[in-house]
Amino acid sequence: MSLFKTKEWWRTRCGANETFDKHSLLAAPLFGKERQDVLVVGSHDGYLRMYSPSSRWVDETKSPTNYKSTDLMIETRLDDCIVDMKAGKFVSGSQDLRLAVLTPSKLTVYNVALVDQSTEYGDRCELKIAYEHPLPRFPASLTTGPFGGVRGRDFLCVQCLDGTLLFYEQEMFAFSQVTRNRLLAEPIIYVPRYDLFVAASSSWYLECHRHVFARCVVASSARPRPLIKLGVAVATRA
């Protein structure tokens, strides 16, 4: 017998006949910690939607109020497929969270702002491009964090289909790293506490790459340290 029970709180359908994957959903406090998290949904058709769920549990009916049209803050279509999305402190000199969107041809960082004088139809927001990075290779995923142990800033790492890693220090391209023992892009995560990138290799090993500062330039350890032999492919990341 389980000690916990789950109840449906909120649901909606994003468009019709659109496709999504594990990188298509993001929850982040884009408007500050004093407000609830925003749900960001990006589809392979290029649609970007942001929701602020307002559902509440009603004891009388024993059910939630569920989706309302005012929950949708913005719906816009980008020029290309949305590959991945992340939120972080991506603009120099600012502590506000921005939205990074990865598409096949570029990495774009957006300023997300609430529209002044929101009406009875709910909060609305707008997107403005802060900066863009054109990509020399086809991307597979986006990883972000305070690489190198920096404080108050987040950097970006684009993993390409051939396993190459492209590192960006916010508005500036830093360097690229060709990983060994990898035939295709694999799940990769960044561990801020130890300043490590943990990834799976094609030989089914978990490997870690350490970042260090050298003359104020971020450099990646060229030789990864094998952690453990998994024996199976890694399907996803936490």
pLDDT tens across 150-199, in order? 999 999 999 999 888 899 999 999 988 887 666 677 888 899 998 888 88
- What pLDDT does residue 204 have? 75
Place of tokens 């120099």: 92
Torsion angle of the four alpha carbons 164, 176, 105, 190, in this order, in degrees rounded to the nearest 10: 70
Q: How confident is the model at residue 213 (pLDDT cuts 50, 70, 90)?
A: very low
- What pLDDT does residue 117 have? 63
Token output for 195: 């300043």
Q: Closest Cα partner for 67 from 127, 6, 8?
A: 8
- Look at residue 36 and tell me whether its pLDDT is greater than 90: no
Place of tokens 């990898």: 182
End-to-end CA distance of the chain: 27
Output 167-176 pairs: Cβ under 8 A, ≥24 positions apart.
167/218, 167/220, 168/107, 168/133, 169/218, 170/90, 170/91, 170/92, 171/91, 171/92, 171/131, 173/133, 174/217, 174/218, 175/217, 175/218, 175/219, 175/220
Q: How confident is the model at residue 118 (pLDDT cuts 50, 70, 90)?
A: low
DSSP-derived letter for residue 37 is: P
- What pLDDT does residue 212 have? 56
Token output for 159: 């993993």
Q: 173 and 183 in contact (C-beta within 8 Å)?
A: no
Q: How far apart are CA 19 and CA 226, in angstroms?
A: 35
Among 1-5, 11-15, 187-191, 206-210, the minimum mean pLDDT is found in: 1-5
Task: Give the type of residue at 169.
Answer: E
- What pLDDT does residue 119 have? 61
Most confident of 74-78, 119-123, 161-165: 74-78
Q: Buried b vs exposed e over 173-210: b needs ≥16 C-beta within 10 Å?
A: ebeebebeebeebbbbebeeeebbbbbbbeeebbbebe
Q: Closest Cα partner for 23 from 154, 144, 155, 165?
A: 144
- What pLDDT does residue 238 have? 53
Task: Give the type of residue at 199.
Answer: A
List 175's β-bridge partners, or say none.
167
Place of tokens 């289909």: 161
**Mean pLDDT score across all residues of the chain:** 84
